[in-house]
Chains A and B, each alone.
Chain A
């Protein structure tokens, strides 16, 4: 049964000048839907290609199931790989594409036919078996590519930005369809994407990569609620960051002095020590907000600078009394809309905020995506 283990996998390009994957170790469990996410160039696709055998690592080991496959060519790994640009063979029709794996593996004619039919029926494209790929829409092409990958009998499905080239609506539908297929068939899937919302929606677990390294692995819930680094607090969902210093620690609560002596309480974390320079992270949706001067937990006063209506939500950009800027997001149909220049009080529960050590290279550098 295919679980996947990477041990210290390293891959560099341009004679070692570009380190694409840096000592990555990872264990993807059997039948797990696992996502690799991170900004462009973080090494997630290279990691996936190492697992597929399309790239040979400089160092480290790859296990699929019980087999050590580090130096095995891709055709001997029993995997299915789905490409962002579909990569359907343009010289073959849909049927020949889907039965390509069974054909080159020299399976019996009868088995070939059955699997081709089943796989195409599964993605609801059996009636398009005679079409050439160029006649299909993007979503259809990716469904054909998916059934082609599965028809070859793989129990490990590798997906490289499979939804990246599709329209937003189709993308949303297809991502759940892929997850259902994987779960129904009892496959292990590793899904690479730069879209954190996509990964959150469908994954059992997620690994966040940055600059060739994995910086946190966890369930979507863990990553959202307990990001280990400032970068993840910003990359998964969204966060406001306020600079400050810890002034006191009492039980579970750390009191923090923000700029211009504003004081708030936050949940104590392992990094909090007295007089430590820290960054306080609060998600825009964690704030409460009231017009005028109100008494709220961790209440801070400020004025609305900008209001953006986004459909589902309304975004308020607020300048606090200490001149820090924050963003507050409220569901738009909850009513109580405020307008620009309104004086407001915002507050947040201490347990829904998080403290991080102030990064040595500065906050801006820490948040850079490239």
Chain B
């Protein structure tokens, strides 16, 4: 009895500790901006809507940036669906040589530091050493805006490249789980491949499509690093937050951050509501008149024949152009810019000069690399310590679902809003626990790292039926803790590992939030943005190639570990 009592007590302590750290490290910083904005509403109102000097000019700006960001994200997600769905289907159903390489390339744009990728894209489309080498000048101006949809081309390219993997990954996983019998049944009943997709596969994978879509949308809405690099004269909402904080316009910045958090939260709630209502099955199931239906059937039949390869080809080509090409070009260009700027022929524009010349960017880069790795290691470690027991809380207790809900929000909150929230909470104007610098960066990264570690772990948990195996261990005489340690944790290893790697690389590449809390402890991604803004383009080029190479090595390590 004594033993049992002890065990219950320990369980309670563990639960309290985990809940407390979740609250302090993750939830409080996420939502602080909301309460900050609401509690200081008069101040915010005065600054945003009734500024004595400029009236509601700040509000007008907020509206402009916000609508621009929403438009950009929406179009990016639509393109993601367009290219991601065929790609996911292709990957889930076909076995071919080089498949795992293609999967790696798709994962790559999830782990790649975005500001480096921004440099790569900028160079590819506007520089003379990129695609421009073919025609002797840049393909497009950096600020080129696509007519009709009114969105800058480069930004759209970057956002599609950085967000389509969310669609591909979630959908591919779902399709691989889907019993092939459904598809086969449809085919034997006389439906063509496209009809089968529309009537069976698509409705069954709607939940995955929705959740992938939300992640992609949120990521695009919050993207800062690459966006700042390719922005030219345009400003997105998260960029505006960074700028306003540096101009000490905290009230306006926090109101915009507040709006971003609300938007992201509504997106999650809306999708969840749609899915819960009828499993999402009928959400898109519009009915049509028989004649149109028959025409569609005929078209699908025709397309299922000879032109089927076309959709695979197009989506693969998109991956090649928006992801692979920029990465290759940035790696090659380091060589081209090594000792002289090929554009102007000046030595001042070369990688060597900018790294080791008067501005000595090399030392700064090395210092930033150390800071980046330090932050990533500490933040990921703490996040894993909080996330793994949290998974148990979520899966074992009935109210765990609410917790999971709450913990998905930091994942989709735009990172500059998050950074601002942390700055206001822990920083000098809040609880004053630290001045901007490396510890504040770590506190910020923990916020999004916990859910990043948690999601793949939960996915692994759900696929494993761990309760059964733990039950077996218990019948063989293991205590609950023994069962977790000897059975569950080893089985969850791959999920945890995937989460840790994702969290590490995300921390390594994080730009938006870090900008706000870093003080003088610069990490690499903001450094790249700074280099671009101070026109040290060759140094930025080198740092980008360096970052990309670093994440490639990490990905390689991950594959080696995962295979074991």
Contact = CB atoms under 8 A, between A and B. Distances in A.
B200 A106 contact: no
A186 interface: no
Contact of A109 (B179, B182, B290, B297): B290
25 contacts: A52-B184, A53-B187, A54-B188, A74-B187, A74-B188, A75-B191, A75-B192, A77-B188, A81-B185, A81-B188, A85-B179, A87-B182, A89-B185, A89-B186, A89-B204, A91-B281, A100-B186, A100-B199, A104-B186, A104-B190, A104-B199, A105-B190, A106-B294, A148-B185, A149-B189
A79 interface: yes
A152 interface: yes
A95 to B, nearest CB: 14
Contact of B189 (A73, A90, A106, A148): A148
B182 A89 contact: yes
A81 B190 contact: no
A74 B281 contact: no
A101 B182 contact: no
A315 to B, nearest CB: 34
Given A104-B297, A106-B294, A106-B297, A152 B182 contact: no
Interface in B271-326: 279, 281, 290, 293-294, 297-298, 304
Dominant SS among interface residues on chain B: helix
Contacts of B431: none
A83 interface: yes
B297 A54 contact: no
A152 B290 contact: no
B203 interface: yes
Q: Which 8 A-B pairs rank lowest in CB-CB distance, beginning with the nearest?
A: A87-B181, A81-B188, A104-B191, A101-B189, A74-B187, A87-B185, A91-B203, A91-B281
B187 A73 contact: yes
Contacts of A78: 190
A80 interface: yes
A100 B199 CA distance: 9
B98 to A, nearest CB: 16
A104 B298 CA distance: 10
Nearest to A77: B188
A84 to B, nearest CB: 8
A53 B189 CA distance: 12
B189 A87 contact: no
Nearest to B294: A106
A83 B188 CA distance: 11
A148 B191 CA distance: 13
Given A52-B184, A75-B192, A80-B188, 10 more contacts: A52-B188, A53-B188, A54-B184, A79-B188, A83-B185, A85-B181, A91-B279, A106-B298, A149-B188, A152-B188
A225 B181 CA distance: 38
B195 interface: yes
B282 to A, nearest CB: 8
B42 to A, nearest CB: 52
A79 B203 CA distance: 25
A106 B297 CA distance: 8
Nearest to A54: B184
Contacts of A105: 190
A149 B188 CA distance: 8
Contacts of B185: 81, 83, 87, 89, 145, 148
B271 to A, nearest CB: 18
Contacts of A87: 179, 181-182, 184-185
Contacts of A158: 188
A148 B181 CA distance: 14
Contacts of B191: 75, 100, 104
Interface in A98-144: 100-101, 103-106, 109
Interface string B151-191: 00000000000000000000000000001011011111111
A105 B192 CA distance: 9
A80 B187 CA distance: 10
Nearest to A151: B189
Nearest to B198: A104
Contacts of A149: 188-189
Contacts of B203: 91
A91 B204 contact: yes
A366 to B, nearest CB: 35
B185 to A, nearest CB: 4
A87 B203 CA distance: 15
Contacts of A79: 188
A77 B192 CA distance: 12
Given A106-B293, A106-B294, A101 B190 contact: yes
A103 B297 CA distance: 9
Contacts of A104: 186, 189-192, 195, 199, 297
Contacts of A77: 188
